[in-house]
């Protein structure tokens, strides 16, 4: 039986949002930029003054996203989502095999056959020796996809080291980095050594429905969406001006926060984990053996399955997740935890708590109190 943590005020009925890895709340600066973009009538491809005004907003946002990633603006291709950016990265560079880690997001896994999914260790980290063997055994160069940070556990992958191995073997490396900006500092694409990098606006406080693929110098892509010549011919269709403007504003906000925000989140996460385990000593935090995002906790209750725990937390006014939000409507055993070697019952107990720019110390203390009140019961 867990006990209520002796910290903070009693649980309240107002909502507590601790699901930033699914979607971060919209930042005020992003909302303001979107409101301003709503007044712009021109098509960004039009040459008249209204079109030029719309184009200027898009290019301003492109410069902001490029600054966040530390790349030239010409490398930024705006897409409709992070999932679309992943699809473009894995389908666009032409033929050849595809490899990825077994803990990638579903939008990557569905482009890679089972035989191309590489094992991770018990901490969720891809083994470089196994990667070297897989690259050597593959029939011809292709694309390797390795996420920077896992969306469920927060565990970081050795992307720079993998990129060197891939380059030596003649492969391209794609990195799904949607969870990294604003949480890892500095976030620098150059240090990753990746040829293709995926970003998503709504993970860092921008709007949903807009992402970006960073396309390195010399990488040729065949577009998924064909038609006009938008995004330098790499993604046809009239640009989402309002969403892109919000993305740019969110990127600027993250840059302004800098390293202080990453350090603040790490302190909150450590406080949270200590309180949760203190209130419920049988709880297990997954991924602690590797480097992790400073905002993410994947924790298993000793006696409650994730679906039951999510329901009780929701009734108490706390929003968290079990696994990826892109698998909404079901609480299945996490493929990430299964790949880390957990059996199905253990994988079914884990939930994800993810912090962000709105999270305060009071939120952490309240979560600890609510967690301690969960107790045990059926469903385990």
Q: Which residues participate in catalysis according to the annotation?
A: 326
Beta strands (DSSP E) in the chain are 16-17, 76-79, 98-101, 117-118, 143-145, 172-176, 196-200, 211-215, 284-286, 296-300, 318-319, 350-354
CA atoms within 13 A on the CB side of 217: 6
- Longest distance between any two alpha carbons in the chain, whole Å: 69
Q: Are 367 and 318 in contact (CB under 8 A)?
A: yes
Which parts of 88-210 are beta strand (E)?
98-101, 117-118, 143-145, 172-176, 196-200
DSSP string, 315-371: HTTEE-BSS-GGGTT--PPPHHHHHTT--HHHHTTEEEEE--TT--HHHHHHHHHHH
| Residue 64 burial (CB count, 10 A) | 24
Q: What is the distance between the alpha carbons of residues 162 and 151, in angstroms, rounded to a whole number?
A: 19
> How far lies 15's CA from each of 18, 354, 376, in Å?
10, 15, 23
């Amino acid at each position: 039986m867990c006990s209520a943590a002796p910290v903070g005020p009693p649980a309240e009925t107002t909502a507590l949002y601790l699901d930033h890895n699914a979607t971060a709340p919209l930042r005020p600066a992003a909302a303001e930029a979107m409101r301003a973009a709503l007044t712009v009538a021109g098509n960004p491809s039009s040459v008249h003054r209204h079109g030029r005004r719309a184009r200027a907003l898009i290019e301003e946002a492109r410069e902001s996203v490029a600054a966040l990633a530390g790349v030239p603006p010409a490398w930024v291709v705006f897409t409709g989502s992070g999932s679309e950016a992943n699809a473009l990265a894995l389908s666009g560079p032409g033929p050849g095999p595809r490899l990825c880690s077994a803990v990638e997001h579903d939008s990557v896994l569905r482009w890679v056959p089972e035989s191309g999914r590489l094992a991770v260790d018990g901490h969720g980290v891809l083994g470089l020796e196994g990667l070297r063997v897989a690259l050597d055994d593959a029939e011809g160069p292709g694309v390797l996809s390795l996420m920077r940070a896992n969306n469920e556990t927060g565990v970081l992958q050795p992307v720079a080291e993998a990129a060197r191995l891939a380059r030596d073997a003649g492969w391209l490396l794609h990195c799904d980095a949607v969870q990294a900006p604003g949480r890892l500092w500095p976030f620098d694409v150059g240090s990753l050594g990746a040829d293709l990098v995926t970003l998503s606006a709504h993970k860092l406080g921008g709007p949903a429905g807009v992402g970006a693929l960073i396309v390195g110098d010399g990488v040729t892509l065949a577009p998924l969406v064909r038609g006009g010549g938008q995004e330098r011919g790499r993604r046809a269709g009239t640009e989402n001006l309002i969403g892109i403007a919000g993305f740019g504003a969110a990127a600027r906000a993250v840059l302004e926060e800098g390293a202080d925000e990453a350090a603040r989140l790490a302190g909150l996460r450590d406080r949270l984990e200590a309180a949760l385990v203190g209130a419920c000593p049988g709880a297990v935090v997954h991924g602690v053996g590797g480097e992790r995002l400073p905002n993410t906790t994947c924790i298993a209750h000793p006696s409650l399955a994730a679906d039951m725990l999510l329901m009780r937390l929701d009734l108490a006014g706390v929003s968290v997740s079990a696994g990826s939000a892109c698998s909404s409507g079901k609480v299945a055993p996490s493929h990430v935890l299964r790949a880390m070697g957990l059996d199905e019952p253990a994988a079914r107990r884990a939930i994800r708590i993810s912090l962000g720019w709105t999270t305060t110390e009071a939120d952490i203390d309240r979560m600890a109190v609510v967690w301690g009140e969960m107790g045990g019961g059926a469903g385990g």
